């Protein structure tokens, strides 16, 4: 699995590189996606 946070251009390049091997790709491209960290969570592990 490949996970990327970056620009649209970088996301397209990563997707092209991953396609021949059929790897899963998760992308966060130029957006704002907040995460929720609950009070009882282990912050060091989550980050």
Per-residue pLDDT at 41 = 86
Q: What is the pLDDT of residue 13?
A: 93
Whole-number pLDDT of residue 47: 66
Task: Return the pLDDT at 34.
Answer: 66
Average pLDDT over residues 32-47: 78
Three-state DSSP string of the chain:
CEEEEECHHHHHHHHHHHHHHCCCEEEEECCCCCCCCCCCCCHHHHC
pLDDT tens digits for range 2-35: 888 888 999 999 999 999 998 899 898 887 766 7
| Dihedral (CA of 11, 14, 16, 19) sign | negative
Sequence ranges of the domains in the chain: 1-31
* Residue 37 confidence (pLDDT) above 80: no
């Amino acid at each position: 699995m490949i996970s990327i946070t970056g620009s649209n251009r970088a996301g397209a390049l990563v997707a092209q590189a991953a396609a021949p091997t059929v790897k899963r790709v998760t992308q966060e491209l130029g957006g704002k996606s907040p995460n929720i960290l609950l009070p009882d969570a282990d912050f060091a592990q989550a980050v």
